[in-house]
Structures are given as C-alpha cells and as structure tokens.
Amino acid sequence: MPEKTISFDSFKLPFMKDPYEDLDEEEEDPDHDEIFESMESAVPSSARSLGNVEDEVENWTSWQINSHFYILPLDEAAQRYALIRIDWDDNWGRWGWEGCARAAGYESANGAAVAMLEGLFEQWGIELDSEEGEPYREFLDKVRS
C-alpha cells in the first residue's frame, strides 16, 4: 500500500483562470453570481463538489466567508487527489481560486478529502471543538458521511 502524503503547497491547475481579467475595467459592479457560475462550470467534470462553508468572522472587524470545496482526482490509479476551492474575498469583493492541498496514497477520493480538510483547517488555526469552529465541523461531518 502506498504511503499516505499530503502537501499544502499552493498550486494552480490549467482551468483556474482569473475570471475578472477579461472584464471591462470600467465595469464597477460585475455580476458576481455569474462569475461564480462561470468558475464552477470550469471545474472538471471528474471533480466532486464537497459543499461550502459560510461563516462570519468577527475580530477587530468582521467579514463573510463563503468557500466552495471540490475534490479532484489527479490520477485515481496512483491514488492522487487535489483539494481546490472557489472562495469569496469579502475585502476585495471578488471570487478567487485556491489550490488548497494535494494528497497521495488514499484509497478513495472521500478519504483524501477528509484528511486534506482536517489538515487545512488545522493549518488555518480553526479549533473544530470550539463555537467558532462549528461551521467547519458541520461541513467536515457532512463530507465524512
């Protein structure tokens, strides 16, 4: 059985293009729902949506989080997978891509997704047992089931 590994190094895949680069620069308020839909349609059909996490973070200011996660088989025979997300940047008012993690050695896409999400949330400093971690814990529980 291959060794299980996870890398959290950032990466880009060919379909992860900036959806705002072709917009007219003078257009002040693009249709963000349309932009999200175009990004979601660019995700390869071999990927599976894991769902999304919505949260409001309150610190010295507050901001909205809306992250849509996908598990993408890179090479199922070699048990290699990628975790990507389409994320709303509340500060800039834009959707963006993020290559979150890559894993190898997992027998299933779901097993790889759970392991990558657990590691990612830990890296972000999210305490899943806390009240603030509840949206992430609930999301992870849905992915596990």
pLDDT one-digit tens code per residue, 25-82: 666 678 889 999 999 999 999 999 999 999 887 766 777 889 999 999 998 878 999 9
* DSSP-derived 3-state class of residue 49: strand
Range of the domain at 75: 5-144
pLDDT score, position 60: 67
Q: Residue 86: exposed, middle, or buried by beta-carbon count in 10 A (0-12, 13-18, 19+)?
A: buried
Number of structural domains in the chain: 1
The reported pLDDT for the residue numbered 138 is 96
Token reading at 108: 């299933």
Quick one: tokens of 97? 């891509």
> Kind and range of the H or E element at 111?
helix 109-123
Burial status of residue 88 (CB atoms within 10 A of its CB: 0-12, 13-18, 19 or more):
buried
Structure token pair of residue 113: 């997704």
Quick check: helix, strand or coil at residue 17? coil
Rounded CA-CA distance 38/71 in Å is: 18
pLDDT tens for 86-132 read 999 888 889 999 999 999 999 999 999 999 999 999 999 999 999 98
The dihedrals phi and psi of 62, each to the nearest 5 degrees, come to: -130, 155
